[in-house]
Amino acid sequence: MLSKKVKILGQAISPGETHQLSLDIAKLHTGSTIEVPVIVSRSKEPGPTILFIGGIHGNEINGVEIVRKLIAEKYHIPNAGMVICIPVVNVFGFLSQTREFPDGRDLNRVFPGSIRGSLASRFAYHIVKEIVPHIDYCIDFHTGGDSRFNAPQIRVGKNDTESLELAKTFGTRFVIKSAKREKSFRATLYNLNKKVLLFEGGKSLNINNDVTKIGIAGALKVMQQLGIRNFQKELALLKNTNDHSYLVKGSAWVRAKYSGLFHPTVQLGQYVKKGDDIGSLSDPFGFFEKKQKSTYAGYVICINQSPIVNQGDAIVHITTDAVEIPT
């Protein structure tokens, strides 16, 4: 909850104010400081604080776009509580269009960080010490890695009841119960008793308008549910394409039987039976083309869109245990 005095990154935030702050604790080997903008908007009315964060992985652009649009459309201005937005956490990776920090580490594998650790670890430390204490809730926006295109989905901890209810409010077609990865931002927030939703949608180095719209609509729904701001008018203009939502407790990858060119024939969200055709694999010279069949029955939640795959590569991700969420 908000108190009368709030100080973030050395800046006093008074009720009713919006400030653009800068997280600039890390430097490149050239000595150049790269500033990470942090936009803080505080209401005059008390309420919870939510953090919207994108670009923990520098090449996951669709998450950056969602947080950017929340700011551009001024959806981040609360009527109660406080909203903190960090559109691009890993500015270093964003500049070079890579997943990692300049030290080669994955920022999402070094939380809660250390003041004496690697560059990524030190950066994680300052986020946890200077931003996280002020928040109650967080939505962390990600995409699929490399060429893996994820159906829009929310991931929550297996035993986190409150976050599961917020995930249902967010409204993606798939809500996935997943184990918290050690030293991830999500695991760290959970250990600090913060409620966090991890959004996955789209793929790296790509912006998909449908994914963006789903991410924005979900953020507005969660803010409205928490009493931060009423978005009834805005949400009425956003089409809800999810007739059914599913809680996913298990999933598995179908792997390529051969190396070659991959031609998927299934769509995200499609239900497939075991033995159904999901695509084909061919050599580049026209000598063979083999059908790839599903080894599981379930909904397609991710497709590897790389045109070239190796034998054993993960190509289609399918739910193995999914139940419809009652409306």
137 plus 276 within the same structural domain: no
Q: Are residues 213 and 156 in the same domain?
A: yes
Q: Does 273 or 157 have the greater pLDDT score?
A: 273
CATH number of the domain within which 212 lies = 3.40.630.10
pLDDT exceeds cutoff 70 at 298: yes
> Is the pLDDT at 265 greater than 70, yes or no?
yes
Amino acid type, 163: S
- The answer to whether residue 182 is domain-embedded is yes
Which is nearest to 34 in space by CA: 85, 82, 91?
91
The percentage of residues in the chain with a pLDDT greater than 70, rounded to a whole number, is 98
**What is d(CA 19, CA 8) in angstroms, rounded to the nearest whole number?**
10
What are the pLDDT digits (tens) for 100-118? 998 899 999 999 999 999 9
185 inside domain: yes
244 domain residue, yes or no: no
Same domain, 231 and 256: no
Specify the number of domains making up the chain.
2
- Whether residue 243 is contained in a domain is answered as no
Structure tokens at 66: 């969602």
Core vs surface per residue 292-309: b (16+ CB within 10 A) or e: bebebebbbbbbbeeeeb
Average pLDDT value for residue range 173-200: 95
What is d(CA 288, CA 50) in angstroms, rounded to the nearest whole number? 53
* 188 and 307 housed in the same domain: no
Mean pLDDT of 126-133: 97
Q: Quick one: 257 and 188 in the same domain?
A: no
Q: What is the CATH number of the domain that holds 316?
A: 2.40.50.100
In this structure, the answer to whether residues 58 and 98 fall within a common structural domain is yes
Q: What pLDDT does 25 receive?
A: 78
pLDDT at 33: 79
- The answer to whether residue 50 sits within a structural domain is yes
* Among candidate residues 170, 203, 236, the one where a domain is terminated: 236
**pLDDT recorded at residue 176:** 97
Half-sphere exposure of 17 (CA within 13 A, CB side): 13
DSSP state of 5: -
Cα–Cα distance measured from residue 189 to residue 163, given in angstroms and rounded to the nearest whole number: 12
- pLDDT beyond 50 at 264: yes
pLDDT for 175 equals 98
- Determine, yes or no, domain membership for 42: yes
Query: For residue 213, is it within any domain?
Result: yes
82-101: per-residue pLDDT in tens? 999 999 999 999 999 999 99
Give residue 241's pLDDT.
60
Same domain, 290 and 149: no
Q: Which tokens sit at 80?
A: 């109660």
Q: Where does a domain end: 180, 202, 236?
A: 236
One domain, residues 185 and 120? yes
pLDDT band at 300 (very low <50, low <70, confident <90, very high): very high
Mean pLDDT within 300-304: 98
**Range 294-318 average pLDDT:** 98
Same domain, yes or no: 85 and 198: yes
Maximal CA-CA distance, the chain: 72
Domain match, 253 and 192 both: no
Q: What is the pLDDT of residue 1?
A: 46
Residues of the domain holding 105: 6-236
The chain-wide mean pLDDT, for the chain, equals 94
- Which domain-ending residue is among 185, 203, 236? 236
Asked if residue 222 and residue 260 are part of one domain, the reply reads: no
pLDDT digits (tens, 9 = 90+) for 2-41: 457 799 999 999 999 999 999 987 777 787 777 899 999 9
Same domain? For 20 and 142 the reply is yes
Q: Is residue 203 part of a domain?
A: yes
pLDDT at 263 over 80: yes
Mean pLDDT of 48-61: 98
User: In the structure encoding, which two tokens stand for residue 227, read together?
Assistant: 């009493």
Which alpha helices (DSSP H) does the chain contain, by range?
Answer: 61-72, 91-96, 119-130, 161-170, 185-191, 209-225, 232-236
* Cβ burial, residue 261 (10 Å; 0-12/13-18/19+): middle
Residue 71: name the closest of 54, 58, 49 by CA: 54
